[in-house]
Structure 1
């Protein structure tokens, strides 16, 4: 009998098992390369010789100027504004672009083949744009970042965005402000007897804001006038009738003047080493609080001494969760978010508030904002990636209001101005809350960016090589 030649394959092997083992080896190698790409330090930079200056479209620098003004009016940090302007410039061939972004202006310098081009602009408006305009500006930025949008048409589109009217009429805006007041009242001081007062005073301040939009002189002094009228009515009428502390009733009606988002963005800029921008924005936020406190002091001077004791019954802890719902509905009519974004806004508000509540249990009231900011960023980014989701900035700005650093700061300054001993403690708590929220947002942004990198690396690793 003729002996068969020995097989080159191991005993009990099969082509299928051999292919599976080979695929496992390749997969393991790809995973190791993905992990190495995420953990190894970047290679040292290479000094390149300057090449020829690019030829950029004629409308690029004017568009960047107008867009920079719109981004400033959207309430974004200087880091995000500078990044967006730089990405658009590079998408259209302007590799050598320098930007200097401050809360009061944007300086743009572009080196081109025809010569250097420089431009400077300030914000289009002294107030923050409504949310539907902010969302439209963000979508325009995304289209321009691809480098395929027509620049001349984009300039026209930007001007149309800034000319968009509010989504709701004056009565709806007043109603929205009243609902915001009720919502923040349920969160800050959920006194049963104070709910009707919240509605009336919130509607009064909403009417004042509408009147100030048509009367520039009143608009300049509106924070002082609103704080004076609300404080005078509270001290002389509302607080004696309810037998409650008037200081605790002041913040909810004045919520639209509280610079919570401004102070939070200022803390983010300071934490990110943007000292000039952060300091100037911080001073502006403090000045807003002092204007409100001046109105309170003027009302106290007119009304005379008052009692800070309170016997009004308070609602349970569930009232704050209902208050978040009122805040979302109030923002829908007062802040004019894009159509179809209400449920997404409600989701972001509840996510931030729930995270802050968990932080309150695990950490402390001053540091609970870190957990809220940490969760807010990935939730807002996930919402923005949904098919019907609004841009992340649209859900983040109202959430900054909800995290309440501005309300705490105003209460502390008001208590200091009126001689209440707890004022210094509230001011310190506000400073800690500001930087805890800012740190949470920064860490959440970094973790979200790293998670996307890991996800892309994993996808590349598990995708078979053709």
Structure 2
């Protein structure tokens, strides 16, 4: 017969392991560390441990159930797709509301990382050019540019597949992708097949650009998480530099004149292109990330809210104001949907809209113009920083209002 204290010890160990596994899964979904710490504390309190302490970083976390107790460190797995993120969010929801035992939750978390997208590879591959076409309809809506963006996305998809098999390709993926796409698109521009090649390069690369890293890093810094924020921001800016390096290598090889490296927008389609582009972006992201069918309409709704708010901000103010309002609309809209329908994870609804803001794309344009001698370093740095800060502040405002709404709804039940 076990001593009386052993059962409590086993429960404590299992709970600490569960929080570590849940927390690292949340890191892999791309959540900012301040949100992870708050939500892990809520789960710990529901499980009977109100004094949970965590130290969350971009690559792992340390968790203890009470000051002075043993602690567990766990490294975060590779990034999760949206369908896996939805499962992680559902597990957390069930733990908070008492619908899932600790052991069952740990089994489900272990199964999440092995869960495939659900669509065949050819359909996922088809989603890449569809996404590039959708982004091009918004960023560079010219017929030749759209065709070039779709072709470039096929090249990027092939490189991504190679990166999964070869470590050297994975390490050089940002530079290789930017080089190959830029070589093809600037070559087409040099042959007189299209105009505005600089903005045409962006849609095929948008999936890989580190806009989310930069903005999440700034939001973590604003929330007081200096180590996580500075590490994520530095890594994101380094990735952005690697993309710019690949682009500049291609333009140097082709001897592209500096006059071609200009932020020129070609509009041959009109306002209808943006509406079609939104639908294509939403549907392609859902295919690529395995988003369940029941969530896809809501993803498109939040995507449309973010784009509309961003467009209004740009019309009445600037790119920074557009990013600020778009981030508020995306974050708050996703929170309201989750509040009304708890089975729809906020993160899954929010991230596609967040990718639409593409702050990394704006940064890539700025770095390229700087290297071409068209802009001063101060102007480029201030422009990139201003847009990223505006989106970060919008994210913080939207998420704060969303938490306040959730708190008011939960207050009567407390």
Instruction: Report the TM-score when normalising by structure 2.
Output: 0.90
CA displacement 1:193-224 (0-9 Å, x = unmatched):
21111111112211221222233331221111
Taking the aligned partners of 2:385 and 2:278, their CA distance within structure 1 comes to 23
Cα distance in 1 between the residues matched to 2:190 and 2:140: 13
- The count of aligned residue pairs is 402
Aligned: 1:153 with 2:104 = yes
1:312 is displaced (CA, Å) by: 6.0
Retained in 1: the 8 A contact 2:90–2:343?
Answer: no
Match of residue 251 from structure 1: 202
1:397 to 351, 364, 386: 351
Q: How far did 1:311 drift?
A: 10
Cα separation, 2, equivalents of 1:223 and 1:449: 36
1:112-134 Cα offsets, whole Å, 9 max, x none, are: 9xx82211122111xx3110000
Contact 2:336 2:402 survives alignment (8 Å) = no
1:383 pairs, out of 332, 337, 354, with 337
Matched, 1:106 2:57: no
Q: Which residue does the alignment assign to 2:177?
A: 226
For residues 371-425 of structure 1, what are the alpha-carbon distances to aligned partners after superposition, in whole Å with 9 as ceiling and x for unaligned?
Answer: 1122222311222244486201001111111112111011111222233338864
1:427, distance to aligned residue in structure 2 (A): 4.5
**1:24 paired residue number:** none
Q: Which residue of structure 2 aligns with residue 94 of structure 1?
A: 49
Is the 8 Å Cα contact of residues 57 and 92 (structure 1) preserved in structure 2?
no
Secondary structure of the residue aligned to 2:73 is strand
Contact 1:243/1:311 (<8 A) preserved: no
Shift in alpha-carbon separation, 1:418–1:173, aligned structure 2, 3 A: farther
Supply the distance in 2 between the matched residues of 1:59 and 1:456 (Cα, whole angstroms).
27
Spell out, residue by residue over 1:153-189, the C-alpha distance to the aligned partner (whole angstroms, 9 max, x if none).
Answer: 2111101111101122222222111111111111111
Q: Secondary structure at the match of 1:100?
A: strand
Q: Which residue of 2 aligns with 1:282?
A: 233
Among 75, 82, 89, the residue aligned to 2:30? 75
RMSD value over aligned CA atoms? 2.4
The alpha carbon displacement at 1:313 in A equals 5.6
Q: Which moved more, 1:135-144 or 1:326-335?
A: 326-335
Instruction: Give distance in 1, aligned partners of 2:190 and 2:82.
Output: 35
For the structure 1 residues 446 and 286, does the alpha-carbon distance in structure 2 shift closer, same or farther, using more than 3 Å as the test?
A: same
Aligned counterpart, 1:437: 391
* Equivalent residue number for residue 124 of structure 1: 77
Report the Cα offset of residue 272 of structure 1: 1.5
Q: Distance in 2 between matches of 1:76 and 1:388?
A: 18
**Aligned residue for 1:411?**
365
Structure 1: gaps of 5 or more residues:
1-53, 461-466
- Find the aligned partners of 1:336 and 1:356 in 2 and give their Cα distance: 26
* Secondary structure of residue in 1 paired with 2:293: coil
Deviations 1:100-153 (A, max 9, x none): 1111220112339xx82211122111xx31100000001101111234522122
Structure 1 residue corresponding to 2:192, chosen from 241, 249, 252: 241
User: How far apart, in 1, do the equivalents of 2:100 and 2:283 lie?
Assistant: 35
- Give the structure with the larger helix fraction: 2
Change (3 A) 1:422 1:243: farther
Task: Report if aligned partners of 1:340, 1:388 keep a CA contact under 8 Å in 2.
Answer: no
Secondary structure of the residue aligned to 2:53 is strand
Partner of 1:183 in structure 2?
134
Secondary structure, counterpart of 1:99 in structure 2: strand
- The residue that corresponds to 1:264 in the other structure is 215
Q: Which moved more, 1:238-247 or 1:352-361?
A: 238-247
Contact 1:197 1:238 in 2 (8 A): no
Contact 1:103–1:281 (8 Å) recurs in 2: yes
Aligned equivalents of 1:271 and 1:410: distance in 2? Answer: 24
User: Deviations 1:214-242 (Å, cap 9, x if unpaired)?
Assistant: 33331221111111111111222345332
Compared CA separation, residues 455 and 101, structure 1 to 2 (3 A): closer
Partner residue, 1:358: 312
Are the aligned partners of 1:73 and 1:124 in contact in 2 as well (CA < 8 Å)?
Answer: yes
Cα 1:83–1:220 shift into 2, 3 Å: same
Q: CA deviation at 1:453?
A: 5.1
CA distance in 2 between partners of 1:434 and 1:200 (Å): 29
Q: Does 1:338 align with 2:292?
A: yes
**Structure 1 position 318, deviation (Å):** 3.4
Q: Which residue is equivalent to 1:324?
A: 278
Q: 1:229 to 1:424 in 2, by over 3 A?
A: farther
Deviates more, 1:235-244 or 1:332-341: 235-244
Structure 1 pair 239–339 and aligned structure 2 pair: CA distance change class (3 A): farther
1:65 aligns with: 20
Kept in 1: contact 2:140–2:266 (CA 8 A): no
Cα distance per residue 1:301-343 (max 9 Å; x no partner): 3222335177966332332232211211220222222332111
Larger Rg: 1
Of stretches 251-260 and 413-422 in structure 1, the one that deviates more from structure 2 is 413-422
Change (3 A) 1:420 1:389: farther
